[in-house]
Amino acid sequence: MSDHRREGLILAIAVGVVGVTFGVLADAAGLSLPQVIVMSTLVFTGASQFAAVSVIDSGGSGAAAVGSALLLAARNALYGPVVARLLPGRWVPRAAAAHFVIDETTAMAAVQDSDEDARDAFWWTALWLWSLWNLGSIGGALLGAVIGEPETWGLDAAFPAAFLALLAPHVRERPGQVAALLGAGIAIALTPIAPAGVPLLVASLAVVPGWLVGRREGSATR
Amino acid sequence: MSWTVILVLVGGAYGFKALGVLGFGRVGNGSVAARFDPLTALIPAALFAALIAVQTVADGESLVIDARLWGVAAGGVAVWRRTPFVVVVILAMAVTAFVRWQTWI
């Protein structure tokens, strides 16, 4: 198996375990099995699903659940431009491919050297992730809280660490370093004062100073 | 949770994904994306760094330093040493689990 397919699978296994916890939480919040399945197959945005179900579980309204979930889902719109050129050109396959544009698939595609590998990494990660996320969700909803707290095994550190590996190629040069440092700084600064999801959206503005640094360096070496 | 809420979530979540992909399609000869290329090239750096930061130190709307930070720091060293992906992930989990277990004793 090529490296990126294997890495996609590793990421998907961790996602699958988190899917189990989603199923458990959704079941506890009163969602039926068909509802859990529709969420995981068709919403297919982990953080949003957790946000919606947590709001419902704590007695919040449907509107509050939708609001907090969609704030977290909004960042997927920013991944479109990153992967757009890798996706099928014709309208219908392209619209179908859009369903799989999430953190993990974008990250796996964006670290590849060639478009061919990037496309392969995108689709294999999508396939693994979607399958295991759904299997996990269904398993969690059916089995309930038999697995205990996944935090006990440090699963919550698996994602930031995996993304650190996927970030590395993007911060080899100054523009990427500036964008990454400012993006992280903005996200941390806004976390205490803005609803979840907003810090990530605002952090995307860090691309502008990164770009300006790159432009200045470019004109200096010319 | 009502089916209405779930269907709005399905539509909304897909809407954002589609907006990004279909909004940056091929238009005529050049693509819309081409005009933004130097900026979009930096989106992974900015957003993944932000995602890492939030997943490492955010707990709801508060900032906390806990076992995750040690695990992610260990993962960072592993990335820097060019350790294979799977080792990075497992090391971060193991360090986090260990620190958490230590603080429980």
Domain boundary, last residue among A156, A188, A206: A156
Q: Cβ(A55)–Cβ(A65) under 8 Å?
A: yes
d(CA A122, CA A114): 12
Say if A219 falls within a structural domain.
yes
Full DSSP string of A135-154: HHHHHHHHH-TTS--GGGGT
Binary contact (B22, A182; C-beta < 8 A): no
Domain boundary, last residue among A156, A182, A207: A156
Domain boundary, last residue among A131, A156, A181: A156
**pLDDT at residue A32, rounded to an integer:** 93
Contacts of A87 (CB under 8 A, 6+ apart): A93, A94, A97, A98, A122, B21
The residue whose two tokens read 């907003």 is A198
**pLDDT at residue A29, rounded to an integer:** 87
Say if A166 falls within a structural domain.
no
Say if A68 falls within a structural domain.
yes
pLDDT by residue (tens digit) across A69-110? 999 999 999 999 999 989 988 889 999 999 999 999 999 999
φ/ψ of B31, rounded to 5, equals -100, 155
Say if A47 falls within a structural domain.
yes
**pLDDT at residue A98, rounded to an integer:** 96
pTM (two decimals): 0.85
**pLDDT at residue B105, rounded to an integer:** 65
**pLDDT at residue A153, rounded to an integer:** 80
Q: Cβ(B85)–Cβ(A10) under 8 Å?
A: yes
Give me the mean pLDDT over the A47-62 stretch. Answer: 88
- Decide if A166 touches B, using CB distance below 8 A: yes
Q: Is B72 in the same domain as B25?
A: no
* ipTM above threshold 0.85: yes
Q: Which residues of chain A from 84 to 143 reach within 8 Å of chain B, CB to CB?
A: 84-85, 87, 89, 94-95, 97-99, 101-103, 106-107, 110
Binary contact (B72, A161; C-beta < 8 A): yes
Give chain B's domain count: 2
Judging contacts by C-beta atoms under 8 Å, the chain A residues touching residue B97 are 152-154
pLDDT at residue A221 greater than cutoff 60: no
* Mean confidence (pLDDT) of chain A: 90
Q: Is A28 in the same domain as A136?
A: yes
Q: Cβ(A181)–Cβ(B49) under 8 Å?
A: yes
**pLDDT at residue B25, rounded to an integer:** 60
**pLDDT at residue A192, rounded to an integer:** 95
Give chain A's domain count: 2
Q: Would you write out chain B's pLDDT as a tens digit for each of its 105 residues? A: 899 999 999 999 999 999 999 887 654 445 555 566 788 889 999 999 999 999 999 998 899 999 999 999 999 999 999 998 889 999 999 999 999 999 876
d(CA B89, CA A165): 9
**pLDDT at residue B29, rounded to an integer:** 44
pLDDT by residue (tens digit) across A112-130? 999 999 999 999 999 999 9
φ/ψ of B78, rounded to 5, equals -65, -40
Say if A61 falls within a structural domain.
yes
Contacts of A209 (CB under 8 A, 6+ apart): A178, A179, A182
Q: Cβ(A163)–Cβ(A107) under 8 Å?
A: yes
**pLDDT at residue B9, rounded to an integer:** 97
Question: Burial letters for B44-83: b for 16+ Cβ neighbours within 10 Å, e otherwise?
Answer: bbbbbbbbbbbbbbbeeeeeeebbbbbbbbbbbebbeeee
**pLDDT at residue A141, rounded to an integer:** 92
Q: Is A87 in the same domain as A12?
A: yes
Q: Which residues of chain A from 7 to 26 reach within 8 Å of chain B, CB to CB?
A: 7, 10-11, 14
- Decide if A45 touches B, using CB distance below 8 A: yes
How many beta-carbon pairs under 8 angstroms link A with B? 309
Residue A49: pLDDT band (50, 70, 90) is very high
- Residue range of the domain that includes B21: 1-41
Q: Which of A122, A127, A143 is nearest to A36 (CA)?
A: A143
- Decide if A48 touches B, using CB distance below 8 A: yes
pLDDT by residue (tens digit) across A174-220? 999 999 999 999 999 999 999 888 999 999 999 999 999 998 887 66
For chain A, the farthest-separated pair of C-alpha atoms sits apart, in whole angstroms, at: 63
- Residue range of the domain that includes A123: 3-156
d(CA A75, CA B70): 27
Which of B54, B61, B79, B95 to mutate to probe the A interface, most A CBs <10 Å?
Answer: B54
Give me the mean pLDDT over the A147-163 stretch. Answer: 81
